[in-house]
């Protein structure tokens, strides 16, 4: 199944989906040294986003979150790609400076954790393999 959305940042990635219905605050919500979600009560609390295709509704929180995404990418602890319903500026800037493929305006309810995804950020396409 192919889902078409909006390109936020170019590039391609294939990997396992990690899905949450909760918005993510990268600053304070994700440990940049490990890639583990640390926000108390978050659906993904205690789970690593490293090397996953992270699927979530939207970002939230401080603008410093952009730099947390960047730090994870530079240390190899970040996600392979991001797929969202609504990519706000914090996540968009983070993916752009980190060169992580990102597509939004995707109905993320069609994707489940564990599914294999191909993300084509250049064309704004997410394919469930």
- Which residues are part of the catalytic machinery? 62
φ and ψ of 87, to 5 deg: -90, 105
Cβ 106 vs Cβ 123: under 8 Å: no
Can you tell me the distance from the alpha carbon of 88 to that of 74, in angstroms, rounded to the nearest whole number? 22
């Amino acid at each position: 199944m192919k889902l078409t959305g909006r390109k936020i940042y170019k590039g391609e990635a294939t990997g396992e989906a990690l899905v949450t219905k909760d918005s993510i605050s990268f600053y304070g919500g994700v440990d940049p040294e490990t890639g583990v979600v640390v926000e108390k009560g978050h659906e993904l609390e205690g789970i690593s986003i490293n090397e996953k295709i992270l699927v979530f509704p939207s970002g939230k929180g401080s603008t410093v979150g952009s730099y947390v995404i960047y730090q994870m990418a530079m240390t190899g602890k970040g996600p392979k790609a991001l797929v969202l319903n609504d990519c706000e500026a914090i996540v968009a800037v983070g993916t752009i400076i980190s060169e992580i493929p990102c597509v939004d305006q995707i109905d993320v309810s069609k994707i489940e954790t564990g599914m294999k995804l191909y993300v084509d950020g250049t064309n704004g396409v997410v394919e469930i393999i």
